[in-house]
Amino acid sequence: MWKLEVENGIESVFAKWNFQPQLLMGAGPSNCSPRTTNALTMEILSPVALDMYKIMDDIQCMLKHTFQTKNRLTLAIQSSGHGALESILTNLVNPGEKIIVAVGGVWGKRTVAIAQNYGIEVITLSCTPGEIYNFKDLEKQIMKHKPVLLFITHGESSAGTCQPLDGLGKICHKYNCLLAVDAVASFGGVPLFIDKWEIDAVAAGSQKAISAPPGMAFLSFSERAEQLMRAKKVPPPFYFDVIALGETWNCFGNPRKYHYTYGSHLLMSVREALMQLIEEGVLETWKRHEVCAKRLWNGLEQIGLELFVEKEENRLFTVASVIVPKDVKWPVLLDYISGKHHIDISFGLGPTAHTCIRVGSMGYNATYEKVDTVLKALEDGLKYCRSENGQNGPNSRSEVME
């Protein structure tokens, strides 16, 4: 007979818990639509079931459409967006090879950290916080350093910037350099044309403008990138082996091969989220994000707040970085809005750490109604912060990444 040896205090787990759902108007994740949520409840499937393959085929087909690409190597992986960045780096670049990372905030910095972990030689570029890179400067750097790859963030949600990309692929290819793009915070909410813009590798996430739950990332690789991948000497992590995963996703017309077990519930939910995007239309979805963002920016200015990104054309539709007035403590503001209005807004990170909050309107939450709701809550929150009660409280939080 077995006997338990370790007794941990598990009573706290079973204590009463008042879970309070929040409207997620921060830098992501966003809330799921009822359809997307409901799709999670489908009975779990075996990873080798025919219905599983149908779900994967559907997702792949819709990803290609939404990415605007004919890339055969287009798939979803079971990881956060970070895993997708790591996949791109480890499948395309050998240790000792040189890449340029054009950093615009914490996500660019993370790309640098991941690459350096693998002994990749990284040339790190930086730009004025809240601004973007111009192609002439990037071309000069490519000419100077002759990297195998330029990595750039499309929607840098820590700054609130959107980097133009149209034409950058052509420049890279003049110098035999690949273009890799982190589109985690932009995909689905901002125009993005993988083929037309000659992007060789792109990473996107499930939980931002697609409004599926977190835990899945999307990848697409050009033929040029696939060739490099197949010639790569040092193998990628097993979990991020894109060629092996491409076989699971039937990218190469071979028989499918099992690599690891995907959760069918999340695939089903991602499928449902993409279907809603396609039903609305890709162009129409981008437009909705644009008009909601503009309503948000105007509304923020009307309640006396200033946007961190000065030039409107550099602003990201999905996430706005908003300067916190000097007489307001941001942790007090966010806690008040979360507690009173049940709305989640994000604190600043990297270039906006300690000075900004970040207000998002993405995916299912990109509607005029929700934009107006968050604006009203902010107005009320500012009033509270300027009251006697609101002057007390902390000035920072330990989670802030600089």
Binding to its own copies in span 247-266, by CB under 8 A: 255-266
Q: Count the alpha carbons within 13 Å of 229 in the hemisphere toward its beta carbon.
A: 23
CB of 140: closest distance to its own copies in angstroms? Answer: 29
Cα separation, 311 vs 302, in Å, equals: 17
* 358 carries a ligand binding annotation: yes
Nearer to its own copies among residue 65 and residue 376 (C-beta) = 65
Q: What's the CA gap between 165 and 68, in Å, rounded?
A: 14
Measured from the CB atom, the residue of 30 and 361 that comes closer to its own copies is 30
Does 318 interact with its own copies (rule: CB under 8 A)? no
Least Cβ distance, residue 306 to its own copies (angstroms): 24
DSSP state of 323: E
User: What residues are paired with 218 via a beta bridge?
Assistant: 76, 204
H, E, C per residue of 266-293: HHHHHHHHHHHHHHHCHHHHHHHHHHHH
394 lies in the site for its own copies, by CB under 8 A: no
Chain positions 157 to 176 lying near its own copies, rule: CB under 8 A, are: none
CB of 252 to its own copies, least distance (A): 13
Whether the CB-CB separation of 105 and 156 falls below 8 Å is answered with yes
Any contact of residue 313 with its own copies (CB under 8 A)? no
Binding mask 36-65 for its own copies (x = CB under 8 A): -xx-xxxxxxxxxx-x--x--xx--xx-xx
**Contacts to its own copies from residues 193-222, by CB under 8 A:** 193, 195-196, 205, 207, 213-215
Ranges within 67-106 binding its own copies (CB under 8 A): 68-70, 78-83, 86, 90
Least distance to its own copies from the beta carbon of 297, Å?
A: 20
C-beta closer to its own copies: residue 68 or 141: 68
- Which among 66, 28, 80, 40 has a CA at the least distance from the CA of 365? 28
Paired with 149 in beta bridges are 99, 178
How many positions of this chain bind its own copies (CB under 8 A)?
A: 96
Instruction: Tell which phi-psi region holds residue 131, choosing left (phi > 0), alpha (psi between -120 and 50) or beta.
Output: beta
Task: Using CB under 8 A, pick the residue from 35, 113, 368, 396 that binds its own copies.
Answer: 113
177 or 201, CB closer to its own copies?
201
Q: If binding is defined by CB under 8 A, does position 188 make contact with its own copies?
A: no
Q: Which residues contact 329 (CB under 8 A, 6 or more apart)?
A: 385, 390, 391, 393, 394, 395
395 binds its own copies (CB under 8 A): no
How far, in Å, CA of 346 to CA of 157, rounded? 10
Shortest gap between Cβ of 322 and its own copies (angstroms)? 17
What's the N-to-C CA distance of the chain in angstroms?
54
Nearer to its own copies, 20 or 392 (CB): 20
CB 80 within 8 A of CB 214: yes
State the binding site for substrate. 358
